[in-house]
Amino acid sequence: MNYAEIVRQKLSEGFTTCKDIGESIGIKYNHKSYPALKSAFGRFKNGETLKEKEVEVPKTTSELIAIDFNKRAESAKVKELNAKYNHLLAEYENSEKRFDALINIKQPVEITRIEPYLSESKNEAIPIVQLSDCHFEESVDGRTINGLNEYNLDIATIRWNKIIQNSLKMIHHERNNSDISQMVLWLGGDFITGNIHTELRESNLLSPTQATRFAKEKIITAINFYLKYGNFDKIIIPCNYGNHGRTEKEKFVSTGYRNSYEWMMYNDIADYFSNNKKVEFIIANGIYVYLDIMGYMNRFFHGDYIKYQGGIGGLTVPLIKSIQRMNQQQVANYNFMGHYHQRWQATKDCFVNGSLIGYNAYAQSIGASPEEPQQGLNILNKKYGMISSMSIYCR
């Protein structure tokens, strides 16, 4: 029995109370079915006039679906409005923060002065000039390498003189910041090319002995220049012989110095300056020269024993491994090497020198990148360690 429909019908017939409606359909006031009628009518008091709005009218399935859909649509709209409101609120808060920041920036600040620091005391420093891989007598014909370089005895002399001049100019500039009274002049080998390859016998402009005398004159000239214009109390000259200046085609290890034109040349130059107390030579009979400079141990070596064969990472990985092995023999803070004709800081503690000869046919044949002829200058500070590594150009 649909009590709600019955109530609606009875109301239209003029019944005004739930009791009267119940009696009209045969349901006594205390009948067991009366609670169902009561539930349909809603809450009421005995004798009250029943209003139509208190009657619950059942909904069809489609009506219920429509109602639910509308409720969900309204809920989604409310969520969207809440999201927009929260976004606008966040934007407003950010705008307030930016506004406050701008207001704070425009607040007046107290202006102070920085007085110039005119201290007469400077940290002690020593420049390390790196000279290697000049290959003085080797000829580079620009026509064989697309005009990328040219090299002969006259060009070698011009470049050498410019390197020496520019190095001292850079050292004088550094004296604005550091107390420099000494210098280290590293002679790193391969000043001559020699006849270790058959092709070199044909292309070199001088024989090995002639080239050695040519290099000897250039080095003595450079040392005299530093003595005259450098204002140095002492010049320390560590010397490594290279792999090109050997007397034999085969490379010797333990007796390499005995078969080196450069080792002989270094000793001749040391004899030339033997009476000058400002000049000190340290000539290697082996691969390495170790030199303590203001408490920092420095290792000098030519570098031809370090091989990488074009592996990933280039020279860096094998060089790190080699330095680790070297440090097992004797620890060094800094390393200086040449041989590879590429000036760069290979690791944090190793500096590879460039070359004076520059790009040639051999470099092009192995796919090496052209590099402007250059040498290296490092500044070792007593307090801070190695503070600078610079290129010395021939221009």
- Domain of 288, CATH number, reads 3.60.21.10
pTM assigned to the model: 0.73
- Do 32 and 164 fall within a single domain? no
Q: How confident is the model at residue 128 (pLDDT cuts 50, 70, 90)?
A: very high
- Do 17 and 133 fall within a single domain? no
Instruction: Give the contacts of 265 (CB within 8 A, at least 6 positions apart).
Output: 191, 212, 215, 216, 219
Question: So what's the pLDDT on residue 338?
Answer: 95
> How would DSSP label each residue in 179-214?
E--EEEEEE-S-SS-TTSSHHHHHH-SS-HHHHHHH
Domain hosting 22: range is 3-54
Residue at 86 is within a domain? no
Instruction: Answer with the one of 11, 30, 54 that is the final residue of a domain.
Output: 54
For 246-272, write each residue's pLDDT tens digit.
998 888 888 889 999 999 999 999 999
Residue at 32 is within a domain? yes
Residue at 109 is within a domain? no
Closest CA to 192 of 266, 127, 121, 126: 266
- Tell the burial category of 354 from Cβ atoms under 10 Å away from its Cβ (0-12, 13-18, 19+): buried
For 154-180, write each residue's pLDDT tens digit.
999 999 999 999 999 999 999 999 999
Residue at 167 is within a domain? yes
Question: So what's the pLDDT on residue 345?
Answer: 87
- Do 49 and 133 fall within a single domain? no
Residue at 202 is within a domain? yes
Residue at 110 is within a domain? no
- Do 128 and 35 fall within a single domain? no
- Do 345 and 253 fall within a single domain? yes
Per the CB < 8 A criterion, the answer to whether 205 and 153 are in contact is yes
Residue at 60 is within a domain? no
Instruction: Answer with the one of 35, 54, 73 that is the final residue of a domain.
Output: 54
- Count of domains in the chain? 2
For 288-346, write each residue's pLDDT tens digit.
999 999 999 999 999 998 887 665 667 888 899 999 999 999 999 999 999 999 998 88
Instruction: Answer with the one of 54, 71, 97 that is the final residue of a domain.
Output: 54
Q: How confident is the model at residue 48 (pLDDT cuts 50, 70, 90)?
A: very low
Residue at 310 is within a domain? yes
Between CA 27 and CA 366 the distance in angstroms is 114
